[in-house]
Amino acid sequence: MKYFLAIIGGGPAGYTAAEIASKAGKDVVIFEQTALGGTCLNVGCIPTKTLLYSAKQYYNATHSDKYGVKAESVTFDYTKIVQRKTKVVRKLVAGIKQKLNNEHCTTVMGAASIVSRTDEQVVIACGEEQYEAENLLICTGSTNFVPPIPGIKDNPAVWDSTDALDTKELPQSMIIVGGGVIGMEFATLYHELGVPVTVIEAMPTILPNLDQEVVTILLEKYRKAGIQILTDTKVTEIQGNKVLTTNGEYEAEHILVSVGRRANMQGLEALTDLEMYRGGIVVDEFMKTNLQNVYAAGDVTGKIMLAHVASRQAEVAVGRMLKQLPLQRIAYNAIPSVVYTNPEIACIGLTEKDLNDIREGDFAPTMSLDKPFVEYEVHQLPMTYSGRFVAENEGETGLCKVIVDKKNKTIIGVHMIGNPCSEFVAAASFAVRMGYTVGEFKQVVFPHPTVGEVLRETIMEA
Ligand code: NAD
């Protein structure tokens, strides 16, 4: 049998593509070597958020006094926390299996590799079998990057994020190398469960790609709470549990290294002419590679490594293969992102730094900023403008910052810190994606009392 589409990788990009194409009546084969759901469901977004939720429950219980609630002798059982995480993952993976359970979709568990490719067909091997398809979608994702630091390899004290999620016992103390998204989420988890944490970041600031006013609020809170955060600090060597840096030596039971991820290219070696850029597969605006009938979606494209970007890229790719008109594109200028620290950070669109970099012509070509420099204005309010926020966030301030194109008054960026901003950043996604002006946004009614009202209040100031 010749399939319409072969998909390598069963993460958010792969399973989304398989579901859409098979439901459109096209025969699809999807290969997954580990577990359906990919990094996001198995060793990424979902397990971390599940562990973080338990940590937040414990933290809130031990800090409930400020709300007039006394909770004495609060304890936690880490084994049970990890067991629950495993149960949540299993449930969601089963949901993906269910979604792909239709007459047009064949799921093959195993490592796939390309045997040959012409413009008419791709031949893929998996185990003893070979499969033929008209189109190929590469969704092989990414894995944790291991930096070339002496003493890192085969060191049992060193973990990556997958090791950290798997362990059944909480470490006594933790050093986290890399103050990016993974690093700061794990710093939150361990800190809230009472583990002493040190974060070592090479850049002058943690979360360097985010709005720095927002980041400063987190940084100040975390430092005050006792998390040691070293910036501008490079790790020169790791000796057992000891981390040697340009800023002194630090020791902990475990060292989590989270300094970025790299595209997975195993099994694709036969595609010798595939165009690559900085380790990612180059795709056009419809997710097509330079090879006729070969598409790529998700982390392997090296664009924005987020599950919701991967699934949107998959929608665009399948739409293009099915020639669904009008052809869809992905709007990279309107991708929301969330960092699950406590408080949460949620943002969308351009930062002031992005705009200034564009003005200077000083931005990475991978940034996909499809806007020229525009004169902008910034409007901001503390989260405490929302009554609901004040009621539920004793002692916190938070920030909501909106960036507006000065000339046409469209909303081009929103950057927030304060719980639960992850839940209403989607309202900002609508605004940025649809190119709303502040005048249009002001006509949208938000329910009261909600924390999301702060977004509307900030835009009312514009
Ligand atoms: P990242 O790029 O977000 O952060 C890596 C950090 O490590 C950077 O701040 C960098 O300056 C620092 N760094 C690099 N080399 C270093 C060194 N030798 N010593 C000290 N610091 C060093 O990468 P990540 O945190 O590993 O996350 C990987 C990907 O997964 C990202 O694309 C991220 O967006 C995604 N992710 C997203 C979420 C979410 O959406 N909530 C959660 C986890 C991961």
Show pLDDT as tens, one digit a residue, over the chain (462 residues): 999 999 999 999 999 999 999 999 999 999 999 999 999 999 999 999 999 999 999 999 999 999 999 999 999 999 999 999 999 999 999 999 999 999 999 999 999 999 999 999 999 999 999 999 999 999 999 999 999 999 999 999 999 999 999 999 999 999 999 999 999 999 999 999 999 999 999 999 999 999 999 999 999 999 999 999 999 999 999 999 999 999 999 999 999 999 999 999 999 999 999 999 999 999 999 999 999 999 999 999 998 999 999 999 999 999 999 999 999 999 998 999 999 999 999 999 999 998 888 777 765 544 445 556 789 999 999 999 999 999 999 999 999 999 999 999 999 999 999 999 999 999 999 999 999 999 999 999 999 999 999 999 999 999
Find tokens 């800190």 and name the residue.
191
Ligand 1 pocket: which of 39, 205, 259, 342 to mutate (most atoms within 8 A of CB): 259
Ligand 1 binding residues, C-beta < 6 A: 147, 177-183, 185, 200-203, 208, 234-235, 258-261, 305-306, 337-340
What is the distance in A from the centroid of ligand 1 to the CA of 183?
7
Give the atom of ligand 1 at the shortest distance from the alpha carbon of 177.
20
Q: Which of the residues 63, 254, 308, 448 is marked catalytic?
A: 448
Residue 448 annotated in active site: yes
Which pLDDT value is given to residue 365? Answer: 45
What is the distance in A from the centroid of ligand 1 to the CA of 279?
16
pTM score of the predicted model:
0.96
What is the distance in A from the centroid of ligand 1 to the CA of 71?
36
What is the distance in A from the centroid of ligand 1 to the CA of 449?
35
Give the atom of ligand 1 at the shortest distance from the alpha carbon of 307.
40
Closest protein CA for atom 24 of ligand 1: 260
Closest protein CA for atom 32 of ligand 1: 305
Give the atom of ligand 1 at the shortest distance from the alpha carbon of 337.
40
What is the distance in A from the centroid of ligand 1 to the CA of 185?
10
Give the atom of ligand 1 at the shortest distance from the alpha carbon of 184.
25
